[in-house]
Structure 1
Amino acid sequence: MRCICFKPWRRSPSPSLKSTVVDELDNSNKDREGSSSPRFREFTLEELNVATDGFSADNIVSEHNEKVPNIVYEGTLDDGKKIAVKRFQKLSWPDASEFVEEAQEVGKCRSEDMVSLIGCCSEGQERLLVADYMPNGTLAKHLFHWEKRPMKWKMRLKVALHTAKALEYCNDMGLDLYHDLNTYRILFDKVGNPRLSCFGLMKCIREGKSYSTNLVFAPPEYLRLGTLVPESSIFSFGTLLLDLMSGKHIPPNHALDLFRGKNYLVLMDSALDGQFSDEDRAELIHLASRCFRREPDERPSIKFLMSALSRLEKRAELWPKLKEENIPPLRLTPLGEACSRVDLSGIHELLEKLGYGEDDVSVTNEFSFQMWTGDLQENTDYKKHGDAAFRAKDFETAIEFYTEFMSGAPVVSPTVLIRRCLCYLMSDMFSEALSEAMQAQVVSPECSTALYLQAACLLKLGMEAKAKEALQQGSALEAV
């Protein structure tokens, strides 16, 4: 059974990396070292003993204790190459052939977003891994233990995106379960680029058994069944996003309470004030909350996370300019205001007053012909019953009658779609509601009501940036 370690003890004795190296990295830098790593090979214990000065305590670069017993040393090979050597405790990996076989598989990975595993050693009871040395420390040090200034928002997004890319690469290589994903598993190379440690692709074994250092950060399936699945890595990625946005190590259960309460003061690092828009903050929080879903198959895929983080990174580049622009406040109608507040009762009252509006003429003409032929009398009754249920706030019944009506209607009524959208909102079916509002916009592109309803749906789904765009478009339509 594979294991997971969620919160190693902190120690940061390695040389300090100035914040400017991490924060002001030139994105055009091509020196990524991934292709320059030597091919995987087996080292002798003597080679590694010499490289680490006899495994000297002065060369230890990782925290270790009874719960985190495996130690990482800095070393130098005969050719001058700097390496990191992970030495497992005695009795770890009792099967030497299994250890070497798994290390060889991990050693095939060569990505600019990952630290390369360049070798291993298995002699007697000794089990060691050898990787490229990352001279500029861990994400934990720069995120939690910064000395001069905190890590900037753009760099935090860069770390998240590159970590997602590394996990996607691992999936492509058939290594779909990354163990112990946390801020200590992300390191910075000599030019300040973030790299995901290759050590997390190896199982954590102690006396032949899996173990976890902190169950507070373990995914629900591990607590229920004692096992992990590939989607467990997504849960751990959520904890990483939470660390990046907060600058603190908040347990997932506590974070979910903060999400529900919209307690942004605790969720967001105060050192980031002014570096992002409210919409980008909301979107990142929404991504993290989705990663924490109880059922593994309900969590987002790593491809989805990559796409969302890529958009956030691009918007972060534009934010300073947008912040300086003097954007006038939105001028919204009462319906637009109600949708911006997600005041569902107010929306219902206003839709009742608006009636069927502009789509009355075309729909009535079409129905007149169909009723003259006697084909759709029953269908129009469905609409009347739906309207009656809508007025009575019996939204489940309204959905049923509107659905029957739409299945046989000769033309699509935008107002019926909008009313069914609100019925779905009232029934906490937010994705279905958004689909209705979007369909209403397709049927009637000049319908500002459809855009306003989209905004309400998006706000319910936690997508504040998209909701603001919909409100702006609805306001612009009304201005015309």
Structure 2
Amino acid sequence: MGCICFKRWRRSSSPSITSTITVIDDLDNKEEDEGSTCPNFLEFSLEQLRVATDGFSADNIVSEHNERVPNIVYKGQLNDGRKIAVKRFQRLSWPDSLEFIEEAQAVGRCRSEHMANLIGCCSEGHERLLVAEYMPNETLAKHLFHWEKRPMKWEMRLRVALHTATALEYCNDWGIDLYHDLNTYRILFDKVGNPRLSCFGLMKCSREGKSYSTNLAFAPPEYLRLGTVIPESVTFSFGTLLLDLMSGRHIPPNHALDLFRGKNYLVLMDSALDGQFSDEDRTELIHLASRCLRPEPDERPSIKFLMSALSRLEKRAELWPNVKEENIPTPSYTEPATKEPLPLTPFGEACWRVDLSGMHELLEKLGYGEDDVVVTNEFSFQMWTGQMQENMDYKKHGDAAFRAKDFETAIEFYTEFMSGAPVVSPTVLARRCLCYLMSDMFREALSDAMQTQVASPEFSIALYLQAACLLKLGMEAEAKEALRHGSSLEAF
């Protein structure tokens, strides 16, 4: 059970939480937190935190931050040797100092072994900072998407999901049923490799600010409609987390739902997990994710239900045969190409070589084909409006920039075009995908390639582009499989 340090707030019976300590593969265990008990919640001075972080040194930044994620997290060390994580909010994020402190204290009540707990805050002048336990073994995003030695195992991925659900249910029991912007950067690993949910997501990014500060493509439908979150929104975000865990990639929910309906499990499942689970367990996890992502909030399962289902899956994973890697049959797509060369088109060959210049030349020569007819016909009914004419101009400007190899400008015009188009143009998506590749924006490119496949399932170019994107992301096995499927499409 997580320790509770706010005695005056302690309930008569705390929620019962059990945990199995497990060391994650390849985590760096050199840095350790000192002490095993939760410290009391404190109000720190700005000077204390300035000293602890070496003057908020850029060398101590441990968070992802940009225009959409402006609040920065630093690592630091207090005078007593304790390591801490300090979240510094953007100026004027919380105008009311008292309200900030009260919310921080409320979050500080939740103390669980499944969380990186909040241990204090600071409010001086316009400065607002949160102080939490420091987790030395980085984020789930790092171990899931950017692994250097070997991918995260199926059993550990299930443990991450179960521990996260347990932490969320614990917070629900303590009266905090909203978690803002749940994603792979919010899951951290402690000194022995246990996954923990960051406490920072229990507070909004600002008093009047947004609850989702990262990619809005992953936000729940009700948030996009109303700008607010409800408890069921947390379940939706948990569904996106399940997608990340089983695919090893960041798949937008809308695309995932299309893949669910088409039973396209190839794209949904990480090929690095082959042989680590049964078909039954895979199907059950996919079903759980699809239920979490339902558009209507009241159709999504409760966190308690998810805990129960994930607990069963984890137990079955422990019983699954532990086959050594060298004894796992080699998938067909990893066999040498000399045995059965792929019959690729020139565009497929260019994608396999990641010859971006060749891909650009061939895509320009291919033009729009049937896609151009569809888009033109759809627009012909609405061409009389100035808005539609303006939208077509965006496409023309985008095409001109694409021909001139001004890829940043092409991205801007194609994005403007797609935001107002009545139908999805697979070729525009394919062209923007290549523009992203040319701009070293490989994940954005992969997202466009996947959208292209959803928009036009028989469009082999979509799969070839996916292969090029996957190769750029270091996923050679998945790239070969995408090439094989693209080649199969052209055979019919």
Partner residue in 1 for 2:230: 229
- 1:32 is displaced (CA, Å) by 10
Task: From the superposition, tell whether residues 89 and 24 of structure 1 become closer, same or farther in structure 2 (CA, over 3 Å).
Answer: closer
Distance 2:208 2:202 in 1: 19
Partner residue in 1 for 2:191: 190
Partner residue in 2 for 1:116: 117
Amino acid at match of 2:201: G
Structure 2 portions without partners, runs of 5+: 1-21, 325-492
What SS does structure 1 have at the residue aligned with 2:69? coil
Amino acid at match of 1:229: I
Partner residue in 1 for 2:304: 303
What SS does structure 1 have at the residue aligned with 2:115? coil
Task: From the superposition, tell whether residues 227 and 209 of structure 1 become closer, same or farther in structure 2 (CA, over 3 Å).
Answer: closer
Distance 1:120 1:70 in 2: 15
Amino acid at match of 1:47: Q
Structure 1 portions without partners, runs of 5+: 1-19, 26-30, 324-480
- 1:212 is displaced (CA, Å) by 3.9
- 1:24 is displaced (CA, Å) by 8.3
Answer whether contact 1:170 1:176 (CA < 8 A) is retained: yes
Partner residue in 1 for 2:25: 23
Distance 2:135 2:230 in 1: 29
1:72-83 matches, cutoff 5 A: 72-83=73-84
1:41-80 matches, cutoff 5 A: 41-80=42-81
Distance 2:74 2:265 in 1: 39
Partner residue in 2 for 1:153: 154
Partner residue in 2 for 1:135: 136
Distance 1:156 1:181 in 2: 16
Partner residue in 2 for 1:474: none
Instruction: Extract structure 1 runs of 4+ deviating beyond 3 A.
Output: 31-35, 206-213
Answer whether contact 2:108 2:117 (CA < 8 A) is retained: yes
Amino acid at match of 2:265: Y
Distance 2:298 2:187 in 1: 26
Amino acid at match of 1:145: H
Q: Deviations 1:87-143 (Å, cap 9, x if unpaired)?
A: 001111111111000000111111110111000000000000000000000000000
- 1:295 is displaced (CA, Å) by 1.1
Task: From the superposition, tell whether residues 211 and 254 of structure 1 become closer, same or farther in structure 2 (CA, over 3 Å).
Answer: closer
Amino acid at match of 2:290: S
Amino acid at match of 1:131: A
- TM-score, length basis structure 2: 0.59
Answer whether contact 2:181 2:211 (CA < 8 A) is retained: no
What SS does structure 2 have at the residue aligned with 1:119? strand
1:350-429 matches, cutoff 5 A: none
C-alpha RMSD of the superposition? 2.2
- 1:321 is displaced (CA, Å) by 6.1
State yes or no: 1:218 paired with 2:219.
yes
Partner residue in 2 for 1:239: 240
Amino acid at match of 2:204: K
- TM-score, length basis structure 1: 0.60
Larger radius of gyration: 1
- 1:209 is displaced (CA, Å) by 6.0
- 1:213 is displaced (CA, Å) by 3.2
Q: How many percent identity over aligned positions? A: 85
- 1:313 is displaced (CA, Å) by 0.4
- 1:51 is displaced (CA, Å) by 0.3
Task: From the superposition, tell whether residues 299 and 192 of structure 1 become closer, same or farther in structure 2 (CA, over 3 Å).
Answer: same
Answer whether contact 2:212 2:219 (CA < 8 A) is retained: no
Answer whether contact 2:222 2:229 (CA < 8 A) is retained: yes
Task: From the superposition, tell whether residues 95 and 167 of structure 1 become closer, same or farther in structure 2 (CA, over 3 Å).
Answer: same
Distance 1:302 1:92 in 2: 30
1:281-360 matches, cutoff 5 A: 281-320=282-321
Q: Deviations 1:135-179 (Å, cap 9, x if unpaired)?
A: 000000000000000000000000000000000000001000000
